[in-house]
Homo-oligomer: A and B are copies of this chain.
Amino acid sequence: MTNAENKQWLIDGNPAGRKVAKSDFKMVSAPLPDLTDGQVMVEVEYLEFTPSLKGQMENRLAYAAKTEKGQVMRGRGIGRVIESCSSSFKTGMTVHGYLGWQTHSVMDSRDLTILPDDGFTRLHLGPLGSTGMAAYFGFFDAGKPKSGDNVLISGAAGAVGSMVGQMAKISGCKVVGVAGGPQKCEHLINGLKLDGAIDYKSEELKTAMKRHAPNGFDVIFDNVGGPFLDAALANMAVGARVVICGAISRYETDNPPPGPKNYFQLVHKRANMRGILSPDYKERFPEARAQIKSWIAEDKFRYFEDIQEGFDNIPSTFMRLFSGKNLGKQLLKIKALE
């Protein structure tokens, strides 16, 4: 393998306080190293993208390892083992892990998970991966839905939101999703079968929420923050559970906007606002994965991917998240042709 080359995208800038840009990354070629004991070489096939990768570039996340300029940009992916110095990893196996933005990843085998070739492999970058775990445990554990509850979801056409919306429908809730633009709102109704959609680009949020749930929402699942959260806190039912999963509206400014000015409604409505991180539920991942797989198998659960292609397009694909271009989970296939 010593003549092969590894193409990589390195971190070359810190996007704190602004939009992430293509110039925050630099493409390089590096020779592929020889493997040492316990190492595995993986040819990367798909990468997944999450908004929190921007926070990791900025070293803003207490729970994530530090990053620095010049290192390969982090990111989860799936790929195929092409060389192995680990007895349990065979050439041809499909694996999952933090492969990074590169064509080949040389990893300690302990940092990789072998995926069965059961037709579900790519789902480990979505519904069976961190996206799905955040949706599942955020909604069920923190949201505590009951049948008949009114549920409100921001970023409802996004990766996490579109899963939460369907979980809420499966749970017998009345579900209203918020998304930007008529195409996404149409998708909420016809693709995800939600009961209502609010287009934040054209509707006044507080009034629209009130119209959809005059007595307020019992569960609010927020991926966005900002004006959504303010309006949602003004539209809680008594005893509401507010799940904070993300705040993409805060990711592109150095000076985060003010917090939710209606937070004191938590008292008036005896409500609860809770932040979640999926890794806390690691021990229960198998339970969640089994449940999600069975919903998919029973056709109760639809899964939406936005798959871009080509190694060169990695940074621009990442940027799609912040301009709200993706419908469902944002992925990229490294090779344009398989």
Contacts and interface: CB of A to CB of B under 8 A. Distances in A.
Interface of A: 61-63, 225, 230, 244-247, 250, 256-277, 280
Nearest to A257: B261
Contacts of A62: 268-269
Contact of A275 (B225, B256, B257, B271): B271
Contact of A264 (B63, B256, B267, B269): B256
B276 A267 contact: yes
Nearest to A62: B268
A225 B61 CA distance: 25
Given A258-B259, A261-B258, A263-B259, A271 B274 contact: yes
A270 B245 CA distance: 10
A264 B280 contact: no
Contact of A263 (B63, B270, B273, B277): B273
A262 to B, nearest CB: 7
A60 to B, nearest CB: 9
Nearest to A55: B268
A237 to B, nearest CB: 11
Contacts of A264: 225, 244, 247, 250, 256, 275
Contacts of A271: 274-275
B266 A263 contact: no
B280 A266 contact: no
B256 A261 contact: yes
Contacts of A261: 256-259
A269 B225 CA distance: 17
A308 to B, nearest CB: 27
A269 B273 CA distance: 13
A128 B297 CA distance: 57
Contacts of A225: 264
A293 to B, nearest CB: 26
Contact of A280 (B244, B270, B273): B270
B256 A266 contact: no
A230 B256 CA distance: 12
Q: Which of A230, A245, A259, A267 has the most chain B CB atoms closer than 10 A to its own CB? A: A267
A284 to B, nearest CB: 14
B275 A270 contact: yes
Given A225-B264, A270-B277, 9 more contacts: A61-B268, A258-B259, A259-B259, A259-B263, A263-B263, A266-B275, A267-B275, A270-B275, A271-B275
A61 to B, nearest CB: 7
22 contacts: A225-B264, A230-B259, A244-B267, A245-B267, A250-B264, A256-B261, A256-B264, A258-B258, A259-B259, A259-B263, A260-B260, A260-B263, A263-B263, A264-B275, A266-B275, A268-B275, A268-B277, A269-B275, A270-B275, A270-B277, A272-B272, A272-B273
